[in-house]
C-alpha cells in the first residue's frame, strides 16, 4: 500500500528517517535508481495523478476530486 498527495515543494522540507542517510526532492524526469518495487509504485501514482491533475497554464493547475 502506498499513499500520495499533491503539495507545494517549497512548503515542505523532507527529513530522513532512521533507515535513510539522506532524503531530498527529485524531478520525476531525473530520478535516481529506486529500491525494491518503488519504481512500479511511483509509476502507478503518476498514472493515477494524471487522471486528476490538469495544468491549464503555468501556475494554474486544476485538481479534480478523486475518491478511492
Express each pLDDT in 44-59 by its tens digit.
Answer: 988 887 777 766 556 6
Does residue 60 carry a pLDDT above 50?
A: yes
Does residue 68 carry a pLDDT above 50?
A: no
Ranges 17-21, 25-29, 53-57: which has the least confidence? 53-57
Please report, rounded to a whole number, the percentage of residues in the chain having pLDDT higher than 70.
Answer: 78
Distance CA 66, CA 18 (A): 33
Q: Averaged over 34-53, what is the pLDDT?
A: 86
| CA 9 to centroid of chain Cα atoms | 10
Distance CA 16, CA 22 (A): 5
User: What residue ranges do the domains of the chain occupy?
Assistant: 9-63
Amino acid at each position: 500500500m502506498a499513499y500520495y498527495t499533491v503539495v507545494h515543494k517549497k512548503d515542505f522540507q523532507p527529513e530522513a528517517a532512521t533507515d535513510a542517510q539522506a532524503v531530498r526532492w527529485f524531478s520525476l524526469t531525473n530520478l535516481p535508481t529506486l529500491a525494491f518495487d518503488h519504481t512500479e509504485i511511483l509509476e502507478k501514482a503518476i498514472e493515477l495523478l494524471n487522471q486528476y491533475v490538469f495544468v491549464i497554464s503555468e501556475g494554474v493547475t486544476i485538481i479534480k476530486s478523486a475518491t478511492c
